[in-house]
């Protein structure tokens, strides 16, 4: 198993935890606002990092590391993910998984095996015909709904995240999205950053003003336990 990126220490990717973050190459979505476009479009061009380097670092620094964040790309596409997480677990690591929710079967396997301590799932838009505009591909919406329900029912700590891209996520869409994740422990609204995007046309798009995002957060509060705003 090889990785496209490795941050040895972060306090930002998992609130309240000292973690390292690994990035798996490749993704089944083509979100026009994606800021990791090289991991998605040209994973073979990255100088991939061997698994042994990460496992050795984790073992050598297990005295101060709380856990490992596994991100991407889309990690659940990798058939070695289950085994890799077990390797990290054997070294005393807690695990946070970042996912787009498209592989509900993999998520069910990992949750059922008790291998995850935190799951952060991106909900790109309302779960309707417009979702494909946010992902750049046709999406199995039922798989997304299944993933949402698996996460909420699992008892594992979790959050759902939406990047609020103008023209893709409208203010009223937050009502629909949070209805889909009703009862979730956390829902995060993430400010859109236009500097690096998969679709270059979005690189000149102005993000929503702070007032608009605050209104979205207000609308989300009745349906979830906690609302967070990131990136303002």
- Give the residues across from 120 on adjacent strands: 98, 159
41, pLDDT greater than 80: no
- pLDDT at site 203: 83
- pLDDT at site 43: 67
Tens of pLDDT, residues 139-185:
999 999 999 999 999 999 999 999 999 989 999 999 999 999 999 99
For residue 113, what are its two tokens? Answer: 């095996």
- The CATH number of 2-230 is 3.20.20.70
210, pLDDT greater than 90: yes
Segments making up each domain of the chain, as ranges: 2-230
Torsion angle, CA of 161/166/167/172, rounded to 10 degrees?
Answer: 60
Tens of pLDDT, residues 88-136:
999 999 999 999 999 999 999 999 999 999 999 999 999 999 999 999 9
46, pLDDT greater than 80: no
- CA angle, residues 70, 5, 30, in degrees to nearest 5: 75
The whole-model pTM stands at 0.94
Closest CA to 62 of 125, 11, 19: 19
- Give the residues across from 21 on adjacent strands: 7, 69
For residue 13, what are its two tokens? Answer: 């990717």
Contacts of 229 (CB under 8 A, 6+ apart): 188, 189, 191, 213, 214, 217
For residue 125, what are its two tokens? Answer: 């838009």
Distances 68 to 13, 64, 92 between C-alpha atoms, Å: 9, 12, 10
């Amino acid at each position: 198993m090889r990785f496209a990126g490795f941050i040895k220490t972060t306090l930002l990717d998992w609130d309240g935890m000292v973690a390292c973050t690994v990035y798996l190459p490749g993704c089944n979505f083509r979100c026009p606002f994606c800021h990791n476009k090289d991991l998605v479009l040209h994973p073979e061009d990255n100088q991939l990092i061997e698994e042994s380097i990460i496992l050795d670092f984790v073992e050598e620094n297990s005295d101060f590391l709380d856990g490992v964040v596994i991100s991407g790309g889309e990690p659940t596409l990798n058939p070695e993910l289950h085994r890799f997480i077990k390797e990290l677990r054997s070294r005393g690591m807690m695990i946070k998984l970042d996912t787009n929710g498209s592989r509900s079967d993999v998520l069910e396997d990992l949750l059922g095996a008790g291998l995850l301590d935190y799951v952060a799932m991106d909900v790109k838009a309302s779960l309707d015909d417009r979702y494909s505009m946010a992902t750049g591909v046709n999406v199995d919406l039922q798989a997304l709904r299944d993933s949402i329900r698996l996460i909420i029912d699992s008892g594992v700590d979790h959050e759902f995240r939406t990047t609020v891209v103008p023209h893709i996520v409208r203010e009223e869409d937050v009502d629909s999205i949070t209805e889909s994740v009703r009862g979730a422990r956390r829902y995060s609204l993430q400010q859109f950053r236009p500097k690096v995007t998969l679709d270059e046309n979005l690189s000149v798009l102005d993000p929503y003003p702070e007032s608009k995002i605050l209104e979205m957060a207000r609308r989300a509060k009745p349906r979830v336990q906690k609302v967070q705003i990131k990136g303002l």
